[in-house]
Amino acid sequence: MDDLLQRLRHFHTDFFPQHQSRFQSLVTDGQHPTTLFIGCSDSRLVPYLLTGAGPGELFIVRNVGALVPPYDGLHGLHGTAAAIEFAMLNLKVSRIVVCGHSHCGAMKALYEEVPAEAKNLRAWLDLAREAALPVQVTPEALCRTEQRAVVLQLERLMDYPMVRERVEKREVTLHGWHYVIEDGEVHVFDVQTGQFLPASQSEHSGTGPYQDAPQDAPPDEQSIFNEIDARWGGR
Ligand SMILES: [Zn+2]
């Protein structure tokens, strides 16, 4: 028997019976996920493991680089943009997570020649181009690029009217994450300091524009990309 078929049978006979009632109520009552998770397609990023989520909790869209296309749709057909609209307007999620990660092939590709044949990939990577640095790619530069890309996507999310409106009303929070695979730890973006902090040292699960902070007024959302730059000493 082929391996994949074996796994399908295992799910049906061993896993499903243990969770059958949960799946049943998700069918009867419908899904009500509270989080839209936009993550890189990388196989080493496992959203359910990271967040301890089960069925019905995460509305997930994954793509190369965890990128958010512009709202205007000029780039063509976009499953990611459609997922954002659906999550905001129909599911009414209260959180959006953008999750990049260490050793991201998409971010590395910003510094490399992409084969001409991969014309969709080339165009897609333009959505992160601004995060690339005018330097030789080193492990540190790559890490910095990965984090900058996450912040860029948070900013682009704010161009979606249904995101902006609900973020400004404090109905939705944005969370920028950088998952460090080798450490097994997510670093979360803090909009007040422009830094990514290990979850073990952070007091929140990431903040974006208009996140209420105990002491400060919310920063101008336009400045968050610059704040992360300031930390690293400019572009
Ligand atoms: Zn990646």
In 3D space, the residue among 109, 135, 137 whose CA is nearest the CA of residue 123 turns out to be 109
Q: Does 198 map to a domain?
A: yes
Q: Does 173 map to a domain?
A: yes
From ligand 1's centre to the CA of 200, what distance in Å? 23
Q: Does 92 map to a domain?
A: yes
Q: Residue 233 has what pLDDT? A: 44
From ligand 1's centre to the CA of 215, what distance in Å? 35
Q: Residue 207 has what pLDDT? A: 82
Is 143 a known ligand-binding residue? Answer: no
d(CA 220, CA 208): 10
Predicted TM-score (pTM) of this structure: 0.89
The domain spanning residue 154 has which CATH number?
3.40.1050.10
Q: Does 160 map to a domain?
A: yes
Q: Residue 130 has what pLDDT? A: 96
User: How far does Cα 134 stand from its chain's mean position?
Assistant: 24
From ligand 1's centre to the CA of 62, what distance in Å? 10
From ligand 1's centre to the CA of 152, what distance in Å? 15
Q: Does 23 map to a domain?
A: no
From ligand 1's centre to the CA of 41, what distance in Å? 6
* 3-state helix/strand/coil string of 142-186: HHHHHHHHHHHHHHHHCCCHHHHHHHHCCCCEEEEEEEEHHHCEE
Q: Residue 143 has what pLDDT? A: 97
Q: Residue 164 has what pLDDT? A: 95
Is 99 a known ligand-binding residue? Answer: no
From ligand 1's centre to the CA of 106, what distance in Å? 5
Enumerate long-range contacts of 19-27, CB under 8 Å, 24 or more apart: 19/54, 19/55, 22/54, 22/55, 22/56, 23/55, 26/55, 26/56
In which domain, by residue range, is 65 found?
Answer: 32-232
Instruction: Work out how many domains the chain is built from and give that number.
Output: 1
Q: Residue 113 has what pLDDT? A: 93
From ligand 1's centre to the CA of 65, what distance in Å? 5
Q: Does 26 map to a domain?
A: no
From ligand 1's centre to the CA of 91, what distance in Å? 26
Q: Which residues of the chain have pLDDT under 50?
A: 213-219, 221-222, 231-235
Tens of pLDDT along 68-114? 999 997 767 799 999 999 999 999 999 999 999 999 999 999 999 99
Q: Residue 192 has what pLDDT? A: 87
